[in-house]
């Protein structure tokens, strides 16, 4: 934890894979697009997740909490313990491939965000870009939302639209959506961090202030 950590909102990023949105958030913190914030830890449920090496290269602490052979509740309990030890204010899911338990959600009420590569509520779950192509839609995109117990569910904060071209395949559509993800997620996180800062200094509750983020 840095000397300025207590003045900053401390962010944890949860990943299961390559962590490109984690890197986008780290870059946005570094260049000031997410002010008054620090990514204090990157947590993965996969010890071989490529994003772990990227986090280490960025100088961010990494923690692996393996989930194999464990219940969701038991696994989440250990992650929450790691986050509480680091006094985390905001949890950002970035390609984290597990639905969170009620215990996890209750530990960070309205402080857990996720980004998904579709215009939710359309096409939740895996292979959202292929779902969009199979569905014949003309537009897809990405969504940042607060997290609840359902698959890619929870109140939507912001979305970015991407045209589906006639010659798109899953790879080309994914690439264009990812560009927008890397723009949208830092924008939303900056807004939420600002609300967290305001909640620390005002009489309103966290819930009252954070509910304005998606208005």
Q: In the prediction, which pLDDT does 24 show?
A: 98
Biggest distance spanned by C-alpha atoms of the chain: 53
Supply the pTM of this predicted model: 0.91
Domain ranges for the chain = 5-210
116 classed as catalytic: yes
Q: In the prediction, which pLDDT does 33 show?
A: 98
Q: In the prediction, which pLDDT does 199 show?
A: 87
Q: In the prediction, which pLDDT does 200 show?
A: 81
| Residue 91 neighbours by CB under 8 Å, 6+ apart | 11, 12, 13, 14, 83, 108, 111, 112, 113
> Which residues of the chain have a pLDDT value below 70?
1-6, 203-215
Q: Report pLDDT digits (tens) over 22-77.
A: 999 999 999 999 999 999 999 999 999 999 999 999 999 999 999 989 999 999 99
CATH of 5-210, one of 3.40.50.170, 3.40.225.10, 3.40.50.280, 3.40.50.300: 3.40.50.170
Q: Which of 75, 116, 145, 182 is catalytic?
A: 116
Q: In the prediction, which pLDDT does 53 show?
A: 98
Beta strand extents in the chain (DSSP E only): 9-15, 37-44, 62-64, 90-93, 112-116, 139-146, 156-163
């Amino acid at each position: 934890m840095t000397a300025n950590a207590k003045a900053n909102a401390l962010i944890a990023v949860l990943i299961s894979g390559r962590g490109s949105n984690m890197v986008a958030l780290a870059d946005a913190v570094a260049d000031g697009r997410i002010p008054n914030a620090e990514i204090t830890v990157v947590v993965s449920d996969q010890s071989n997740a490529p994003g772990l090496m990227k986090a280490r290269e960025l100088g961010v602490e990494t923690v692996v909490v393996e989930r194999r052979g464990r219940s969701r509740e038991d696994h989440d309990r250990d992650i929450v313990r790691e986050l509480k030890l680091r006094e985390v204010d905001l949890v950002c899911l970035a390609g984290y491939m597990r639905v969170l338990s009620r215990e996890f959600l209750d530990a960070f009420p309205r402080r857990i965000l996720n980004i998904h590569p579709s215009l939710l509520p359309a096409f939740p779950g895996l292979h959202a870009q292929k779902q969009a192509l199979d569905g014949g839609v003309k537009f897809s995109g990405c969504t940042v939302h607060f997290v609840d117990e359902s698959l890619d569910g929870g109140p939507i904060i912001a979305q970015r639209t991407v045209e589906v071209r006639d010659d798109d395949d899953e790879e080309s559509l994914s690439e264009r959506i990812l560009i927008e993800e890397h723009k949208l997620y830092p924008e939303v996180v900056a807004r939420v961090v600002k609300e967290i800062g305001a909640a620390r200094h005002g009489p309103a509750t966290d819930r009252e202030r954070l509910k304005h983020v998606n208005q």
